[in-house]
Amino acid sequence: MIYSNKELAQLIIEYCIAYQVEHAIISPGSRNAPLTIGFTNHSSIKTYSIVDERCAAFFALGIAQQAKKPAVLVCTSGSALLNYYPAVAEAFYSNIPLVVISADRPKHLIDIGDGQTIRQESVFKNHSLYNANLMDGDEYINENATQIATAIKIALLNKGPVHINVPFDEPLYVTTKKLSIENIDLEIDTIETEWAYDFKEYASIWNNSKKKLVIVGAHFPSKELQLQLSKLAMDESVLIFTETTSNIHHSTFINSIDKLIFGLSDKEFEKVQPEILLTLGGMIVSKKIKQLLRIYQPKHHWHIDAKNAPDTYHCLSHHFKIDDTVFFDEFLELTKPASSNYKEYGLELKQRRNEKHDQFLLNVEFSDLKVFDLVLASIPNNTHLQLGNSSIIRYSQLFDVTNSVNIFCNRGTSGIDGSTSTAIGASQVGNNQTVFISGDISFFYDSNGLWNNYIKNNFRIILINNGGGGIFRFIPGPSSTNAIDYFETPHQLTATQLCEMHHFDYYSAKNEDELNKKLCSFYTVGNAPKLLEIFTPNSINDVILNRYFLSI
Ligand SMILES: Cc1ncc(C[n+]2csc(CCOP(=O)(O)OP(=O)(O)O)c2C)c(N)n1
């Protein structure tokens, strides 16, 4: 076995192993050599080499999102570290465990004119769960060990990003065959979660209410939760709204919130306005439901989450600080059905909207909306689907996706800067085929995401190229200005050359026939990953979407 002779590097790696870290993504540099030597020489950790730190961090985010365990990032000193920030912020808001490890110069070499040196300590402090600023010097070894263990443990337990900044003095490349930290106590505390709740008071309010709305935001697929929610939904006073990213499916749940509530008159929405709003899961994509519930507030808003309770609807009244499945285990025992026509009203609306939706899509012209209809219907069972931000995630909310498909999107910060990298990272975990659907601006933004050696042959990208940021034609505002180009950023780029450079098989379609033909064989495994670029007309996409909403 080969180790760096730096005790701090040895400590970090031993703790990562003790906490069962399995993936480390390393970006190149010299200051981080002790860590690079340490991680790459340890067989129980899979290492990846990714040059661009922004892409490396989103790639790690994708791995951690799927593995539900921390992925480690390792970079050199200077601006390298700052390039992790977008993914750190995304991890912070979407509760994904990341352990960022940055190499630094010892304190006395900061701000004195040494190259590639910036103020690195606690640089992510606004968006991280813990910052371990390690100290240089043998006398600090025990304190450093505690700091490292605390950081990794917090990432794992509290699910979010932590930062460990490690000062290394030169020489950086000296190795040894023996750990010099063997006498250090590497015992790891066991991780326990505790909770104690008396639900009786809440169950009594629940049982006496006739209109109860449950909204499920982004959630890792959970059969247990799905079952619990279907039991809850047997009650005719309960309506369940799910988002595409909730990965919860049931024929009596409302899985297209916007489709249902768009166009409701005030009187009609009053019928939907709940007495109790029970929320769980992460971010909600539907802007409309947030707007409406902020106006038509429920008497009670309870949020279930072991960690946070964002006051999304400006009326949060209680936070059940426990895991949602643990909550329902107890709560379902105490609930009784109430007679009500609340659920019936919601389901009638759903049926009407779905009929209109089908009618509209039957005859609609080739456009972003039609492309979504065709593409989502083509996704094979058991696919792992990653969605880009902007209109991609919004369009997908209007369609049914089969329940064997798991869906993810970076909604923590809704950035367009790392979706490709995240999808490729996510595809490293498990064997299911990963399909990534992206808009053109997001795709070209993160084109460095394709620059790595880990893209599997069964990885697929569907690029909907509408020649710019289509969302800005649809949302009110940009087109009323004389600066629309600065919002939409129109362009003539295509992905052909990127595909050639990164060894993707390239396909394209510009009408329905071509698209149907290309989709037929698109998912079958070949000798290279594939990208299908679909060109849609930006001049009518927004008109069609507006017509769609009016018609349903
Ligand atoms: C890092 C970052 N910069 C800017 C934005 C603002 N923004 C939101 S959507 C968008 C355009 C996205 O266009 P595209 O990916 O082509 O998707 P479309 O809207 O056409 O579906 C921009 C620039 C953002 N979300 N994230």
Using one digit for the tens of pLDDT, what is the confidence trace for 442-456?
Answer: 999 999 999 999 999
Share of the chain above pLDDT 70, in %: 97
Look at ligand 1, atom 11, and give the residue with the nearest C-alpha. Answer: 469
User: What pLDDT score does 192 carry?
Assistant: 60
- Per residue in 139-185, pLDDT (tens digit) is 999 999 999 999 999 999 999 999 999 999 999 999 999 988 876 66
The answer to whether the CB of 390 is under 6 A from ligand 1 is yes
Please say if the pLDDT value at position 325 is more than 80. yes
Q: Which ligand 1 atom is the nearest neighbour of the CA of 415?
A: 26
Integer Cα distance of 414 and 50 in angstroms? 23
Integer Cα distance of 60 and 91 in angstroms? 10
User: What pLDDT score does 263 carry?
Assistant: 85
Ligand 1 centroid to Cα of residue 419, in Å, is 11
547-to-291, 356, 366, 541 alpha-carbon distances in Å: 22, 12, 14, 10
User: What pLDDT score does 311 carry?
Assistant: 97
Ligand 1 centroid to Cα of residue 389, in Å, is 7
User: What pLDDT score does 339 carry?
Assistant: 96
- Per residue in 246-272, pLDDT (tens digit) is 999 999 999 999 999 998 999 999 999
Integer Cα distance of 550 and 123 in angstroms? 48
User: What pLDDT score does 390 carry?
Assistant: 86
User: What pLDDT score does 47 carry?
Assistant: 98
Ligand 1 centroid to Cα of residue 279, in Å, is 27
User: What pLDDT score does 193 carry?
Assistant: 58
Integer Cα distance of 463 and 459 in angstroms? 13
User: 283, 367, 416: which to mutate for ligand 1, most atoms within 8 A of CB?
Assistant: 416
User: What pLDDT score does 180 carry?
Assistant: 86
Judge whether 309 and 303 are in contact, CB under 8 Å. yes
User: 437, 461, 471: which to mutate for ligand 1, most atoms within 8 A of CB?
Assistant: 471
User: Radius of gyration (Cα) for the chain, nearest Å?
Assistant: 25
Please say if the pLDDT value at position 230 is more than 70. yes
Strands 175-176 and 3-4: what pairing?
A: antiparallel
Q: Which ligand 1 atom is the nearest neighbour of the CA of 443?
A: 15
User: 58, 386, 441: which to mutate for ligand 1, most atoms within 8 A of CB?
Assistant: 441
User: What pLDDT score does 33 carry?
Assistant: 98
Confidence category of residue 287, pLDDT binned at 50, 70, 90: very high
Look at ligand 1, atom 13, and give the residue with the nearest C-alpha. Answer: 469
Look at ligand 1, atom 8, and give the residue with the nearest C-alpha. Answer: 390
Look at ligand 1, atom 12, and give the residue with the nearest C-alpha. Answer: 469
Partnered with residue 363 across adjacent β-strands are: none
Integer Cα distance of 152 and 16 in angstroms? 7
User: What pLDDT score does 130 carry?
Assistant: 98
pTM of the model: 0.97
168-to-3, 122, 233, 373, 469 alpha-carbon distances in Å: 15, 17, 57, 54, 44
User: What pLDDT score does 392 carry?
Assistant: 96
Q: Which ligand 1 atom is the nearest neighbour of the CA of 472?
A: 19
Q: What average pLDDT score do residues 117-126 get?
A: 97
Look at ligand 1, atom 21, and give the residue with the nearest C-alpha. Answer: 391
Judge whether 229 and 325 are in contact, CB under 8 Å. no
Ligand 1 centroid to Cα of residue 494, in Å, is 17
Please say if the pLDDT value at position 186 is more than 90. no
**Helix residue spans in 215-265 (DSSP H):** 223-232, 257-261
The answer to whether the CB of 478 is under 6 A from ligand 1 is no
Ligand 1 centroid to Cα of residue 445, in Å, is 9
- Average model confidence (pLDDT) for the chain? 95
Look at ligand 1, atom 9, and give the residue with the nearest C-alpha. Answer: 390
CB burial of 400-437 (b: ≥16 within 10 Å; e: otherwise) equals ebeeebbbbbbbbbebbbbbbbbbbbbbbbeebbbbbb
Ligand 1 centroid to Cα of residue 485, in Å, is 13
Confidence category of residue 7, pLDDT binned at 50, 70, 90: very high
Look at ligand 1, atom 26, and give the residue with the nearest C-alpha. Answer: 415
Strands 318-320 and 175-176: what pairing?
A: unpaired
Please say if the pLDDT value at position 533 is more than 80. yes
The answer to whether the CB of 414 is under 6 A from ligand 1 is yes
Q: Which ligand 1 atom is the nearest neighbour of the CA of 471?
A: 19
Integer Cα distance of 269 and 441 in angstroms? 35
Please say if the pLDDT value at position 71 is more than 80. yes
The answer to whether the CB of 282 is under 6 A from ligand 1 is no
User: What pLDDT score does 92 carry?
Assistant: 98
The answer to whether the CB of 470 is under 6 A from ligand 1 is yes
Please say if the pLDDT value at position 492 is more than 90. yes
User: What pLDDT score does 514 carry?
Assistant: 98
Lowest mean pLDDT among 56-60, 197-201, 300-304, 321-325: 197-201
